[in-house]
Amino acid sequence: MTEPTCRLDVFKLLNKADFIYRPDTNTWSHDDGRPFTDEEQAMAHGATDVELETLSSIQKIGLDHGLGDPAHALRILMYRYSVKLPDGTTDEDIVASMTGKDRTEYQRLRTVIRTGIRPEVVTLLLDADLPAYLDTNTWTHHDGQPFTKQEKSLACSCTLKEMEAVLAQMQLELDFEQEREADAPRAFCALMDKYFGDVPDGTLIHDPASRMTEEDRIEYLRLRDILGPEMSIITDRDED
């Protein structure tokens, strides 16, 4: 059985279409504003899954590089599924008929349209080692893993609005860490009291972390690293 192919004339037509029905002609328009002829609209309506999926893929590549219109990409995605369903099917039911991957893409496009920010760009840059990039002009993750070619392209397509979102998130995380560090003495005392509150004052406790749950042990080590020399002062005060 022959595999379906993407017809170039149909693809070119779809690539110039706005996927919005005009009230005067009940057809789509070309990207220059000219209405489709009846013949062009019939050709567009005869597009196969292969042609529509190819168009969606091209649109996604453009958006990944900071090009294209997410609202246009969303219309194409919705049309791909609406043509398989009865006339009058609600948008909610159209979305429900999508594959998990396309439903995720639908939500992503809605977010980009609403905020002007691509979540995947923000997530990628938050995981980037920005100080290392400034020093070496090389993109790497926090774990030292270099960016793939696709990740580099995505990072370089970052818009001003997306960078502002990254910086805002970084500031929130910094503020949160500063608050946690300021609260470290109280948190350390509370944690020690949880396990050793009934131990007589002056008792020497070897390896406190060994008696703790895994979660509390991790917290103990975190607090110990934050407090450093202050830890013994806090403990001495508790034993007075």
pLDDT per residue, tens digit, the chain (240 aa), is 566 788 999 999 999 999 999 999 999 999 999 999 999 999 999 999 999 999 999 998 888 887 889 999 999 999 999 999 999 999 999 999 999 999 999 999 999 999 888 888 899 999 999 888 888 888 999 899 999 998 988 888 888 888 888 888 888 877 767 766 777 788 888 887 887 777 666 656 667 777 788 888 888 888 888 777 555 544 544 444
- Residues in CB range of 112: below 8 A, 6 or more apart: 63, 70, 118, 119
**Residue 155: exposed, middle, or buried by beta-carbon count in 10 A (0-12, 13-18, 19+)?**
middle
pTM score, whole prediction? 0.60
Say how far apart CA 66 and CA 136 lie, in whole Å: 24
Say how far apart CA 140 and CA 184 lie, in whole Å: 31
Return the beta strands (E) in 67-190 as ranges.
none
Q: At what angle do helices 49-64 and 70-82 cross, to 10 degrees?
A: 160
Q: How many CB atoms lie within 10 A of CB 9?
A: 8
Query: Is 40 within 8 Å of 13 (Cβ atoms)?
Result: yes
Amino acid at 119: P
